[in-house]
Chains A and B, each alone.
Chain A
Amino acid sequence: MARSNLRRAKGQTVAISALVLIAAMMLNLWLMLATDYGENFVRCHEKANAEHVTVAVSGTDDEIKNFLAQTLDSEPNVSEYIMNDCFNMTCTFDYNGGETNGWFVFMNEQTALSRSVGKVEITENGGAQSGVYLPMIYETGDIRAGGTIDINIGSNTVTYNVCGFFNSVMMGSHNCGLVQVILTQDKYDELSELGYAFGATLCSVRLKDISVNADYEAELKSKISERFNNIMINGNCYDLVRQSRYIAQMICSGVISTMALLVLMIALVVIASNIVNYIQVNMKNLGALKAVGYTSGQLVRTLLLQFTGLSMLAALAGAGLSYLLFPAVNDMMISQTGIPYAVRFLPFPMFVAVAISACAVSLSVWLSARKIKKIEPITALRSGVQAQTLKRNHIPLDKAKVPLNAALALKTALSGIKHNVTVCVTVLVLSLVVVFSGLMAENVIGDFTPFLNLIVGETADSCINVEASAEQEFLQQMRSDDRVEKIYLFHSLNVVHAGGAELMATMYDDFSELNNKSVVYEGRFPERADEIAVAGKYAGENDLKIGDEISITANGKTEKYVICGYTQISNYLGRDCLLTRKGYERLGSIISASYYINLANGVDIDEFNAEAKEKFAGKISTAVNIKTVMEGAAKVYVTLMKIIVIAILVLSALIIAFVLYLLVRTMLNNKKRDYGILKSLGFTSGQLVIQTALAFMPAVILSTVAGLILGSIVINPLMSLFLSGIGIVKCTFTVPAGFVTAAGAGIIALSFAIACLLSLKVKKIAPCALLRGE
Chain B
Amino acid sequence: MKEVILKAENLCKTFSDGGVQRHILKNIDLELYRGDFTVIMGASGAGKSTLLYSLSGMDAPDEGTLTFGDKVISDLSQDGLAVFRREHCGFVFQQIYLIDGMSVTDNVLCAGLLASKDKKQIISRAKELFASVDISEDTQKKFPYQLSGGEAQRAGIVRALINSPEILFADEPTGALNSKTGLDVLDTLTEFNERGQSVVMVTHDVRSARRGNRILYLKDGVIMGECDLGAYEHGNAERHEKLAAFLKDMGW
Residues in A lying within 8 Å of B, measured CB to CB: 383, 385-387, 390, 393, 396-398, 404, 408, 411-412, 415, 673-674, 676-686, 763, 766-768, 770-772
Which residue of the partner chain A has the closest CB to B90? A681
A-B contact count (CB 8 A): 96
Interface residues of B in 120-176 (CB under 8 A from A): 123, 141, 143-145, 159, 171
* B110–A681 CB distance below 8 A: yes
Evaluate contact between B109 and A397: CB separation under 8 angstroms: yes
Q: In chain B, what residue has the closest Cβ to A390?
A: B143
Pair B99/A397 contact, Cβ less than 8 Å:
no
Question: How long is the Cα–Cα vector from A408 to B103 in the complex, in angstroms?
Answer: 12
Task: Please give, as numbers and ranges, the residues of chain B lying within 8 Å of A387 by CB-CB distance.
Answer: 145
Q: What chain A residues lie within 8 Å of B59 (beta carbons)?
A: 766-768
State which of B83, B103, B143, B171 has its C-beta within 8 Å of the C-beta of A682: B83
A110 to chain B, nearest CB (A): 85
Q: For the complex, is B14 an interface residue (Cβ under 8 Å from A)?
A: no
**Contact at A682–B99, with CB atoms within 8 Å?**
no
Name B59-116 residues within 8 Å CB distance of A: 59, 78-79, 82-87, 89, 91, 93, 97-103, 105-106, 109-111, 113-115
Residues of A within 8 A of B186 (CB): none
A contact residues around B82 at 8 Å (CB): 679, 682-685
Q: Which residues of A contact B78 (CB under 8 A)?
A: 684-685, 763
- Nearest opposing residue in chain A for B108, CB measure: A397
Shortest C-beta distance, A39 to chain B (Å), equals: 57
Bound complex: CA A681 to CA B169 (Å) = 12
Chain B interfacial residues counted at CB < 8 A? 38
Residues of chain A with a CB closer than 8 A to B111's CB: 681-682
13 more CB-based (< 8 A) A-B contacts, given A397-B102, A678-B110, A681-B110: A390-B100, A393-B106, A397-B106, A404-B110, A411-B106, A415-B101, A677-B99, A681-B114, A685-B82, A767-B58, A768-B58, A771-B58, A771-B93
When distances are taken between beta carbons in the complex, the residues of chain B under 8 Å from A767 are 58-59
SS class of chain B's interface: helix, strand, loop or mixed?
A: helix
Give residues in B with beta carbon < 8 Å to A. 49, 53, 58-59, 78-79, 82-87, 89, 91, 93, 97-103, 105-106, 109-111, 113-115, 119, 123, 141, 143-145, 159, 171
Q: Is the CB–CB distance between B103 and A393 below 8 Å?
A: yes
A-B contact pairs, 22 of them (CB 8 A): A383-B145, A385-B100, A386-B100, A386-B144, A396-B105, A397-B106, A398-B119, A411-B101, A411-B102, A412-B101, A674-B101, A677-B97, A677-B98, A680-B85, A681-B85, A681-B91, A681-B110, A682-B83, A682-B84, A685-B79, A771-B58, A772-B49
Q: Please, which residue of chain B has its CB at the minimum distance from the CB of A770?
A: B97
CA distance A247 to B141 in the complex (A): 64
Q: Which chain B positions have C-beta within 8 A of A676?
A: 97
User: By DSSP majority rule, is chain A's interface helix, strand, loop, or mixed?
Assistant: helix
A341–B89 Cα distance when bound, in Å, is 73
A681 and B106 in contact, given A390-B143, A771-B171 (Cβ under 8 angstroms): no
Contacts of B101 in A (CB 8 A): 390, 411-412, 415, 674
The reply to whether B145 and A680 contact each other, CB–CB distance below 8 Å, is no
Asked whether A686 lies within 8 Å of B58 as measured between CB atoms, the reply is: no
Query: Provided the pairs A411-B102, A768-B59 are in contact, do residues A681 and B86 lie with their beta carbons within 8 angstroms?
Result: yes
Q: CA separation between A396 and B85, bound complex, in Å? A: 24
B110–A408 CB distance below 8 A: yes
List residues of chain A with CB within 8 A of the CB of B83. Answer: 682, 684
Q: Which 6 A-B pairs have the closest CB atoms?
A: A682-B86, A768-B59, A397-B109, A386-B145, A684-B79, A393-B103
Q: State the Cβ distance, B58 to closest chain A Cβ, in Å.
A: 5
Return chain A residues, CB-CB under 8 Å to B58: 680, 767-768, 771
Q: Identify B97's interface contact among A408, A680, A766, CB under 8 A.
A: A680
**A404, A686, A770 — most chain B CB neighbours (10 Å):** A404
Instruction: Decide: B102 and A682 in contact? CB cutoff 8 A.
Output: no
- Most chain B C-beta atoms within 10 Å of own C-beta, residue among A387, A682, A767, A770: A682
Q: CA separation between A678 and B102, bound complex, in Å?
A: 12
Within 8 Å CB of B93, what residues of A?
771
Tell whether A682 pairs with B87 under 8 Å between CB atoms, given A393-B106, A674-B99, A763-B78.
yes
In the complex formed, the residue of A with least CB distance to B160 is A681
Contact between A397 and B114 (Cβ–Cβ < 8 Å)? no
Q: A681-B86, A771-B49, A771-B53 are in contact. Are A396 and B106 (CB under 8 A)?
A: yes
Query: How far apart sit A674 and B100, CA to CA, in the bound complex (Å)?
Result: 8
